[in-house]
Structure 1
């Protein structure tokens, strides 16, 4: 097919797809698999001139450590049991939108001025969306899947433009897995029963 790829891109493909599948199933192993995926992507993105995406992987590793702890400890001192899936509050949405907008603007200016990036805005936009989505994933917020879907819709053509065809295909797989994850997490939301008791949706 005329594609050029590498073992780094192949391993990024495999670990990335496995990670998203495990997240959709709320399996704790997604975090160490995700860290391995981040390492492969650092080695892949930096030579391709996707500097924000490469730097983003370092942040992802830190967030993965937080998410790993959050999923097992409920996210707070003295909290017992695993974290439960829930919807985002209006305050959380507002805070994420504000921080994301400022971050995308600042990163776009930085990439345009101090790097040779040919796609500063798109690199910054995908970085901002991905960070917002990862934070939501760490807190098991259902809406994090919508953010991932938005990011993937930009990532797919961006990686085609950069010649990373296998990675573009991976993000098309991610897109499908994100839709499945959204449906799965919506099904896991606690709902109020007929007598006011809480139960998990089937």
Structure 2
């Protein structure tokens, strides 16, 4: 069983394994802070995603690499957005998507898919079935990060869907540690959705 899960790492450079484990540690911290509606989600997330930008380029998962680069940018925006207050009151608390955002989300998803397909085609990277999953996950996560930065509860639903798809994708590519990370992400995301839902209901009451 151990060989099935981790044998592929015997040929990997030790520094890549160290980087992957470091990124996973900060990634789990980031999702935990997101669940707690804590602004530390952003600095920990920036460390996680910056490391993965490099690793995903090495692993030829260009869509997910672009997701992580986008995460870095959106984390900076989200960090600023979450700190905005007026007379000590948070201006952008947890909320549901507006009608305008529901119309914008599919546009972001489709535009992302088209762009990533173009990138894969340009670099001739359609070499494995995981490439197609990577493109789909990229679209889902782009919208999910946008919604998280805006503190919309629906972001958790997209994280759960994307995480579930990512588990077999990374396992098939031979990155077991990252696959396990996404399994844990899924569990935390379910609890994150429930916690944000509770906070939202308390605010309404």
Tell me how many residue pairs correspond in the alignment: 191
**Where in structure 1 are there 5+ consecutive unaligned residues?**
192-198
State the shift of 1:40 in Å: 1.6
- Alignment partner, residue 112 of structure 1: 121
Matches of 1:52 and 1:143, distance apart in 2? 22
| TM-score normalized with structure 2 length | 0.86
Q: Is 1:64 paired with 2:75?
A: yes
Superposition pairs for residues 34-113 of structure 1, below 5 Å? Answer: 34-73=45-84, 81-82=89-90, 83-113=92-122
| TM-score normalized with structure 1 length | 0.87
The 3 A distance-change label for structure 1 pair 168 and 73 is same
- Given that 2:78 and 2:150 are in contact with CA atoms closer than 8 Å, whether structure 1 keeps it comes out as yes
What is the Cα-based RMSD across aligned positions, in Å? Answer: 1.9
Matches of 1:111 and 1:140, distance apart in 2? 31
- Given that 2:71 and 2:145 are in contact with CA atoms closer than 8 Å, whether structure 1 keeps it comes out as yes
Tell me which of 156, 177, 183 is aligned to 1:145: 156
Q: Is 1:172 paired with 2:186?
A: no
**Where in structure 2 are there 5+ consecutive unaligned residues?**
none
- Given that 2:112 and 2:142 are in contact with CA atoms closer than 8 Å, whether structure 1 keeps it comes out as no
Matches of 1:63 and 1:85, distance apart in 2? 17
Matches of 2:119 and 2:68, distance apart in 1? 18
Matches of 1:109 and 1:66, distance apart in 2? 26
Matches of 1:123 and 1:108, distance apart in 2? 10
